[in-house]
Amino acid sequence: MLDLFNLAGRTALVTGANTGLGQGIAIALAQAGADIVAAGRSPADETAAQVRALGRSFLDVRADLSTTAPVSDVVDAAVALNGRLDIVVNNAGIIRRADSLDVEEADWDAVIDTNLKSVFFLSQAAARHMAQHGGGKIVNIASLLSFQGGIRVPAYAASKSAVAGLTRALANEWAAQGINVNAIAPGYFDTNNTAALRADPVREPAILARIPAGRWGQPGDLAGAAVFLASRASDYVHGIVLPVDGGWLAR
Ligand code: NAD
C-alpha cells in the first residue's frame, strides 16, 4: 500500500524551494524518494543540504519567475537532471499588502505575473514534456484566499482565486494525457509571507483564535498533502484544491 506514495526514481521541480513552504515541500518529496530541482531567485543551499542528506540528487536553477522568460529553460534544466520530469510544484509567490484604494499598478502586476502568469506558462512548458512521456503531476500552491477575500491583499486574493480556476481548467484538459493538476490551499503558515501578520498585535491573535487546531502551520504540515498529490496515490484525483489549514475553512 505505501508503495503508492513512493517517489523513488521521480524528478520533482519545486519553485521557490529555498525557504518556507517550498522548502518543506521539497524536503517532503525527497523523503518520499524524489530527486529535486529547485527554481528560484535565491540560492537554495539549506534545502540542497537537507535533500542530499536524504541521498537524493539536487539541482539549483536560478530563475526570476516575475516574468515568463525563464520557464522553458527551467523545464529543460529539470529534464536534463535525469532525463525526465514527473512532478512540478508551483510554489513561488509573493504578497503585497495595501488598502485597495491605494494599490499601485506595479504591485498589482508583480503579484499577478508571479502568482498566476508564470504558474500557467511553467505548467504549460512542463505539460508539453509530460504529455509526451506518459504524464505527470502538477501541484499548484493556492491559498485560503482562493476561497475568501482576505484583508488588504486584493491582487493576492485575485491571483490565488485564479490559481484555483486555472487548476480546474488545466485538469480538465490534461487528465486524459495522464497529467494530474491539483492544488493545495495552505492555511496560515509561519513563513516570510506571513511575517507582517504575525508581528501585528491585532491580526495575529485574531487569526490564531479562528484556527481550530490552535496553532499556525509549519512547513512540514504540508508534507502529506504534497506527497499524496505528487504520487500514484492521487492518480484519479484531478482539479481539486485541498485545504491544509488546521480547520480554518470549517469555521
Ligand atoms: P516565502 O515568502 O517564504 O516564500 C516564497 C518563495 O517564492 C521564496 O522561495 C521566494 O524566493 C519565491 N519567489 C518569490 N518571488 C519569486 C520570483 N519572482 N522568482 C522566483 N521565486 C520567487 O513564503 P511562503 O509562505 O513559503 O510562500 C510559498 C507559497 O505559499 C506562495 O505561493 C504563497 O502565496 C503560498 N501561501 C503561503 C501561505 C502562508 O501562510 N505562508 C498561505 C497560503 C499560501
The preferred substitution site among 21, 66, 241 for testing ligand 1, maximizing ligand atoms within 8 Å of CB, is: 21
Q: pLDDT > 70: what percent of the chain?
A: 100
Q: How far is the CA of 17 from the centre of ligand 1 (A)?
A: 9
The residue segments making up the domain with residue 22 are 2-250
What pLDDT sits at residue 174?
Answer: 98
Residue 214: which region, alpha, beta or left (left: phi > 0; alpha: psi -120 to 50)? Answer: left
Tell me the backbone φ, ψ of residue 182, rounded to 5 degrees. -140, 175
65 in contact with ligand 1, CB cutoff 6 A: yes
- Helix 105-112 to helix 154-174 angle (10° resolution) is 30
Instruction: Supply the CATH number for residue 226's domain.
Output: 3.40.50.720
Q: Is residue 188 lining ligand 1, measured as CB closer than 6 Å?
A: yes
**Average pLDDT over the chain, rounded to whole?**
98
pLDDT tens per residue across span 129-172:
999 999 999 999 999 999 999 999 999 999 999 999 999 999 99
- Asked if residue 66 has its Cβ within 6 Å of ligand 1, the reply is yes
Name the band, by pLDDT with cuts 50, 70 and 90, for residue 115.
very high
The pLDDT value recorded for residue 217 is: 98
pLDDT in tens, 234-249: 999 999 999 999 999 9
Distance of CA 158 to the CA centre of its chain: 16
Residue 229 confidence class, pLDDT cut points 50, 70, 90: very high
Instruction: Please count the structural domains in the chain.
Output: 1
What's the CA gap between 53 and 237, in Å, rounded? Answer: 31
Q: Is the CB of 41 under 6 A from ligand 1?
A: yes
Q: What is the pLDDT of residue 209?
A: 98
Residue 21: partners with Cβ closer than 8 Å, 6 or more residues away: 91, 141, 186, 189, 191, 193, 219, 222
**Closest to 155 in 3D by CA, of 121, 214, 106, 119:** 106
Task: Clarify whether 156 is annotated catalytic.
Answer: yes
Cα Rg, the chain, nearest whole Å: 17
pLDDT score for 78: 98
Given 120, 121, 147, 156, the catalytic residue: 156
